[in-house]
């Protein structure tokens, strides 16, 4: 199994640097050809959403589509896949950031009844509590 860093995914998805995009695609394809699984951890997914939304100005709907596409690929192992899917649903249907949704879902999965926060918009997800 080979882990993917955020910058590899960004280059692969945006093709903003043709040389690095080609190299990222080559590395990913080589792993697939060798039947090696590719691993995405939760931090990389949070960074990916932040970079695509903030630096590249992708609308939330497009970011959600990209994540759904990534999560559906059979050669990708996603850390805590079920938690990530639930967080993605929360993200798509709320004003919360993806990272916050992932924090809330991760905490719930470990037995937390809620996550305390000062961020008012997170209360609508049902995972957070605060004032």
Instruction: Confirm whether pTM is higher than 0.75.
Output: yes
Give the residue, 125 or 95, on which the prediction is more confident: 95
Distance CA 34, CA 76 (A): 14
Domain layout of the chain by residue ranges: 1-79, 89-131
Distance CA 1, CA 66 (A): 22
The answer to whether 92 and 64 have CB atoms below 8 angstroms apart is: yes
Q: What's the burial of 49, exposed, middle or buried (CB within 10 Å: 0-12/13-18/19+)? A: buried
What are the pLDDT digits (tens) for 2-23?
Answer: 999 999 999 999 999 999 999 9
| pLDDT score, position 114 | 83
Among 64, 66, 71, 53, which residue's Cα sits nearest to residue 92?
64
């Amino acid at each position: 199994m080979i882990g993917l860093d955020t910058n590899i995914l960004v280059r692969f998805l945006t093709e903003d640097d043709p040389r690095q995009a080609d190299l990222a695609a080559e590395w990913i394809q080589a792993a697939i050809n060798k039947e090696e699984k590719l691993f995405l951890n939760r931090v990389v997914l949070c960074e990916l959403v932040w970079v695509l939304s903030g630096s590249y100005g992708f609308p939330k709907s497009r970011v959600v589509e990209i994540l759904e596409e990534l999560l559906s690929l059979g050669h990708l192992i996603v850390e805590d896949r079920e938690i990530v899917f639930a967080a993605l649903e929360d993200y798509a249907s709320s004003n919360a950031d993806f990272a916050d949704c992932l924090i809330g879902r991760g905490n719930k999965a470990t037995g937390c009844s809620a996550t305390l926060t000062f961020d008012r918009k997170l209360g609508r997800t049902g995972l957070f509590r605060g004032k």
